Structure 1
Amino acid sequence: MPTQQRFALVTGCGRGGIGEALVTEYSRKGLHAIATVLPNEASDHLTEAGITFYPLDVTSEKSILELKANIQKLTGGRLDVLVNCAGIAYTMTAIDTDVVAVQRMFDINVFGPMRMVRHFHDLIIEAKGAIVNIGSIGGVIPYLYGSSYNATKAALAHWGNTLRVEMAPFDVRVITVISGEVSTNILKNDAHRRLPEGSYYSPLAEEFQAHVTRTPQGATDRFDYAAHVVAHSLKSKPQAWFWYGSYTRLTWFYDVFGWRTIWDSTLWKWFNLRKLQQAHAARATKQ
C-alpha cells in the first residue's frame, strides 16, 4: 500500500531566511513542502526550487483564510506540519522603545502564530500532525537592545507550552525551537536604526550602530539548522523544546542550573556598559 503524501506548511519563506531553508529541507525529505511569502515579496527563489508557495500576511485574518482554502484544496483537508516561522526584529534599548513598532512586531511574531493555529488546527488534528514554533535564545537571555524582540520569543515559547498540553489529547505534537545564532538576513530591516537624540545610551551610539549592522560571528548555517529542526519535527516523540544553533548549549546550561541574573556580568562586558556608566557619572558631576 503506497505511503500517504505528507504536507508541511512553513510561513515566512523570503529569500535568505530560516523559512526558505526549512521549506527546502522538508521538500528534500520527501514531503510536499508549502511556503508562504508576503503578498508583495519576491518569490523567484521558490519558483526556481520547484516549491509550492502562496501569499500570506499573518496579521490579516482574510489572508489566512484565503491560504487555508488553498491548502484544503491541495491537501484534501489535512496538514502534517505547520511551522510558524514568519517574524521580524526590532532593535532598540528598552527605555527608547517605540511602542507602535513593537505592537507590529507582536502582531507578527506572537499573534501571527496564534491566528495560524486558530484557523489551521482542524487540518493538523486530522493528520495527527505537528506544530513547530520558531523561538530564540533571546527569549531566555536578557540580550541588550533586544528587550522587545526577546519578549515576543518568550511569549511564543510559553504560549506554546500550554498549546502543547491542550493539543496532546488530539495526538498533535507541539515543538518550540530555541534557536541560537543562525546566519540569516533578519537584521536587514534594522540596519538603519539609530539611538534617538538625547538618549541616555548616546555614549554607546557607535557601538549600537555596529550592533545593528553586524555580521554575526560563529553563527550556524541556516541549512544545517534546517536539517536538524526538520528531522526533529518529524519524530513521533520529539522534545518539547528543541535547542539548536550557536550558543544554545551554554544558554541551556545557564538557564537550567544558573541563577536568574547569571547573564548580567557577561552582558555588561559584551556591551561595554562600563563606558556607559562612566559617561553617566561624568555627566551627573557636571550638572
Structure 2
Amino acid sequence: MDRGGVKILGVVNVTADSFSDGGRFLDPGAALDQARALHADGADVIDVGGESTRPGAHRVDEQVEIERVVPIIRELAAEGIVVSVDTMRAGVAAAAIDAGAAYVNDVSGGRADDQMAAVVAEADLPWILMHWRPLTDRAGDGPYGPDDFTHRAGQAGAYRDVVGEVSGELLAQVDAAVTAGVDPDRLILDPGLGFAKSAAHNWALLRGLPTLVGLGFPVLVGASRKRFLGSLLAVDGVDRPPAGREVATAAVSALAAAAGVWGLRVHDAAASRDAVAVARAWTTEEGAVDG
C-alpha cells in the first residue's frame, strides 16, 4: 500500500524491561517473529533496540546490548528486511552496521557517545538524532556522559518555549554532527516525545510539527503507547495501560502524517499504516477512491 512516502518504523524491543511489552521479545525467536509480523503489517523499517529507555531503566553492559541486537539484525537483513538499530553506543552501532543495519536511531542525539558521529560518517547511513535534554545539575550543554541520558521518574525539563527550544537544540545537534563529518542529507530529527518532557510539552511539540518539519530535515515522531496518551485516556485517575493506547497512537500517526513528517515509530504497524492512508486521502486527491 502506498503511504505517500511516510515511513513506518516497527519497534522490536529485545529487552527485559520495556514499558510497552515487558520483555516479551527478549527471546531471539520471539523477537524475530515480531519483526516479521511488523514487516508483513506494513513496517518499512524494523527498529531493533537492546536497551530500555523507559523511566527508571538502568543501562545494560555494551556487550549484552550487542548480543541482544546483532543476531536479530543479521537474520532480518539476510531476509531483505530493512533494519534500524536503536542505540546510544558507537560500539553497538558499529556491530549492528556490520550485521546489516541500514539506519542508526540514537535517542541521545549523538551526545551520549562522542564516537558515534565517526561511526555514522564512515558508514554513510541515515542517523536519527533525537532530542533529549539530559537531566543534570551542570550548567551549559555538555560534555555529557552516557549516564546523563537516563530517565528520572516524574521529572521533565523546564521549557519556556518547548517548540522553539527543542528546534534550536536539534539544530545544534545537527551542527555538531556535520562538523564531525556526517552528511547533513543523512540526518533525521526526532523531537523526543516523552523524554524528559511533560504531557503538556509533548502536545505542544505535536501541535508544533509544522515548525519542526520546516527546519528542513526529515522528522520522525515516536508517540506510540507513551504515557501522555495513557494519561489522556485515564479513567478515575488511572492511566490507560500501554496495550490500550493503540487507537490514540493511530490518531497521532494520522495527524503527524498530515503535518508532513518523514516517519512514525510505532508498535502496531497495521494501525498506523491505515491511519497514514486516511491522512493522505484527507489531505490530497491522490488517495481518494470512489464509494
What is the TM-score normalised by the length of structure 1?
0.34
Say which one has the larger Rg.
1
Larger fraction in helix: 1
What is the TM-score normalised by the length of structure 2?
0.34
